[in-house]
Chain A
């Protein structure tokens, strides 16, 4: 009988921990423009390599190159740059507001602005996103008023959600933004259901599901892929791989599979990996997937390879689990600076106009904050009524809740 050694458990570890030198040598990055752009009706088995490579448009010189370039005009790119700058400024102000005690909690997008801002531009009015807490760019890029977002963050008297949700858990049917859940991945399968409904009604609208790399381990992620694949639902299945699920590196959820995108292949879903810090690449890939969905060709899975530069939330301290300089070492750069460089190289933008735009955007954000704070912040000024606790649990308030509302004095 053969003798075997005792078994041992494999626990993946990131390449480096605090005190070490950041190392992304394991991230294999294709050259900008090098990855093919197949027809939208390609069979998933014919484009398997797209699940392992990284689609990029902007090269180091700021040029847009390759088959995924050329889908946006200068004006559209300038608008995109403005959206990303606005989101970054909004984040900075709200982070400060949280530190000042004006709200309990905040989650910023630093380094990931291109993903949601560019994606939104591939959708049409009436399409629906089922987002996580890190896609506020979908609202910013759809011109949802920042004041409303702040009212929600401050849980003030004008909070559209009446103080019931954690800050940044926005909801807007009008802007295609489904109410956010704190429980991870539940929205992923709901997005598939929404898309199925659109197909059942022979509508033209499509849905987009959003998830982070860590939450792909949840069973609802896998349920969503089964349903999307089975019914060929018109849905874009987005995975934002920002490398970190709070303190847990992406290798823990990814396990032995080569990439998160590769998860789609087992379900027969076309899967692509894209440089999430490249506004043009994100937009082009989103547009490709949206066109597939609109042509009734079914779901597409997209992995956005990016890096969470900021903390997970205001309750997190990333220096406890990764080197402080790791974000600077991220090989795909900063999405705002990359688009800025591209526009300057094209002659459509300049350093001085950028500085001017930064000032204008800061004024705009400060003005929105001033107006929002006039309605109150979490601990000061106007707040939703205690009555709002009891309203809206059901369409019609049942007797037992009415009795409790009266007991509370309302």
Chain B
């Protein structure tokens, strides 16, 4: 076991995968010699050579399009999109090509690619470096969507994603790259080295895609979150003292409905938290499923705590970000309902 940040865990996952399988290639903007703007690919070019880890032209559609072609050939490209916000020029290649190739060719061609994208806010990135576009992917059949909340999961899930035979969108919450975030922007980030989930095996291991994890058992209310919001939810539960059960979805598509239903049927209350905007966000899907499957067990309306329906602001970032105070209010409200 070693103590790793999420950046190191992501890097380790690619390292282990490249070492085990010559068909794994890593490319994207600035990922080669420099090691990526967040240093996730640092050292990979030196170790595996520049034909297995290389810089790409600034053309997201080109990056994803060529990755699709490489996958059709038989490689397993693990691509970095520098920020999730930059994926829009590649949206057609992702949603109508990568996602569909297996289906439309009846398995004649497949598309085992991983698209890593730093996602979410909390680093003063403004409108175009803070987005959480997961709902734009979970609406697309043929994709898998994974969001880790800690280094251990990041490595295990990324290895599973690289080994997955289908295209995986791997959203890395950049607020969590260096340590868990407790939701209070005035406090420094605690490094992962002081956290249990910063302990990550150095070799190969994987975590199955499609399985949620209960981060904190509880009996009064189920809080459903993923990525950065898992830590915000845990902080809110601690600060309010509400006996919340916090579920970390880890994978949004496919979704672990069983874990959700089991928990809400037990607690009778449900709060869904995400950083993305409210309207048509992934929380709407979760709320609809909970309503459909847990209706007779619900003792209060399902509540969503999310980013506002506005673009992500720069100076007012901490008023946008759903912090423990907002989640805590929702917990107290839902208990009183």
Interface residues of A (CB under 8 A from B): 128, 130, 160-162, 164-165, 169, 171-173, 178-179, 181, 183, 186, 188-201, 207, 219-220, 223-224, 226-227, 230, 392-395, 398-401
Is B133 an interface residue, CB under 8 A from the partner? no
Known: A161-B104, A161-B105, A392-B107. A227 touches B62 (CB 8 A): yes
- Of chain A, the residue at the smallest CB distance from B64 is A189
Q: Which residues of A contact B254 (CB under 8 A)?
A: 398-400
Interchain CB contact under 8 A, A395 and B72? no
Q: Which residues of B contact A201 (CB under 8 A)?
A: 73-75
Interchain CB contact under 8 A, A171 and B59? no
A22 and B12 CA atoms in complex are apart in Å by 65
Q: Which residues of A contact B106 (CB under 8 A)?
A: 160-162, 164, 171, 392
List 29 interface pairs A-B (beta carbons < 8 Å), by A numbering: A178-B109, A179-B108, A181-B104, A186-B97, A189-B65, A189-B69, A190-B68, A190-B72, A192-B66, A193-B68, A193-B70, A193-B71, A193-B73, A194-B70, A199-B51, A201-B74, A219-B61, A219-B89, A223-B59, A224-B62, A227-B57, A392-B103, A393-B103, A393-B142, A394-B102, A394-B142, A395-B165, A398-B254, A401-B141
- In-complex Cβ contact of B108 among A171, A186, A394, A401 (8 A): A171
Is B25 an interface residue, CB under 8 A from the partner? yes
Interchain CB contact under 8 A, A399 and B102? no
Q: Give per-residue flags for B75-118: 1 if the beta carbon is below 8 A from chain A beta carbons, else 0.
A: 10000000000000100110011001111111111100000000
Is B266 an interface residue, CB under 8 A from the partner? no
Q: Give per-residue flags for B32-76: 1 if the beta carbon is below 8 A from chain A beta carbons, else 0.
A: 000000000000000000011000110101100111111111110
Q: Which residues of B contact A199 (CB under 8 A)?
A: 51
Known: A193-B70, A197-B73, A220-B62. A172 touches B257 (CB 8 A): no
Interchain CB contact under 8 A, A194 and B73? yes
A160 and B97 CA atoms in complex are apart in Å by 19
Is B29 an interface residue, CB under 8 A from the partner? no
Is B146 an interface residue, CB under 8 A from the partner? no
Is B166 an interface residue, CB under 8 A from the partner? yes
A23 and B185 CA atoms in complex are apart in Å by 71
Known: A181-B96, A186-B93. A226 touches B59 (CB 8 A): yes
Is B236 an interface residue, CB under 8 A from the partner? no
A395 and B52 CA atoms in complex are apart in Å by 26
Interface residues of B (CB under 8 A from A): 25, 51-52, 56-57, 59, 61-62, 65-75, 89, 92-93, 96-97, 100-110, 141-142, 144, 165-166, 210, 254-255, 257
- In-complex Cβ contact of A183 among B25, B92, B101, B110 (8 A): B92
Q: Which residues of B contact A164 (CB under 8 A)?
A: 103-104, 106
Interchain CB contact under 8 A, B97 and A181? yes
- Of chain A, the residue at the smallest CB distance from B113 is A193
A183 and B95 CA atoms in complex are apart in Å by 11
Interchain CB contact under 8 A, B102 and A197? no
Interchain CB contact under 8 A, B102 and A190? no
Interchain CB contact under 8 A, B166 and A395? yes
Name the distance in Å between B32's Cβ and chain A's nearest Cβ: 12
Name the distance in Å between A298's Cβ and chain B's nearest Cβ: 15
Interchain CB contact under 8 A, A179 and B96? no
- In-complex Cβ contact of A392 among B66, B68, B93, B102 (8 A): B102
A78 and B193 CA atoms in complex are apart in Å by 73
Q: Which residues of A contact B59 (CB under 8 A)?
A: 223, 226-227
Q: Which residues of A contact B166 (CB under 8 A)?
A: 394-395
Name the distance in Å between A339's Cβ and chain B's nearest Cβ: 32
Name the distance in Å between B275's Cβ and chain A's nearest Cβ: 24
Name the distance in Å between B169's Cβ and chain A's nearest Cβ: 14
Q: Which residues of A contact B56 (CB under 8 A)?
A: 227
Interchain CB contact under 8 A, A400 and B257? yes
A173 and B68 CA atoms in complex are apart in Å by 15
Interchain CB contact under 8 A, B69 and A183? no
Name the distance in Å between A210's Cβ and chain B's nearest Cβ: 13
- In-complex Cβ contact of A196 among B69, B93, B165 (8 A): B69
Interchain CB contact under 8 A, B62 and A179? no
Q: Which residues of B contact A200 (CB under 8 A)?
A: 25, 51-52, 70, 75
A224 and B56 CA atoms in complex are apart in Å by 12
Q: Which residues of A contact B144 (CB under 8 A)?
A: 394
Q: Which residues of A contact B100 (CB under 8 A)?
A: 181
Interchain CB contact under 8 A, A165 and B104? yes
A241 and B67 CA atoms in complex are apart in Å by 27
Interchain CB contact under 8 A, B65 and A197? no
Interchain CB contact under 8 A, A193 and B69? yes
Q: Which residues of B contact A128 (CB under 8 A)?
A: 72-73
Known: A128-B72, A197-B74, A200-B25. A393 touches B66 (CB 8 A): no
Interchain CB contact under 8 A, A395 and B93? no
Q: Which residues of B contact A173 (CB under 8 A)?
A: 105, 108-109
- Of chain A, the residue at the smallest CB distance from B165 is A395
Q: Which residues of B contact A193 (CB under 8 A)?
A: 65-73
Name the distance in Å between B195's Cβ and chain A's nearest Cβ: 31
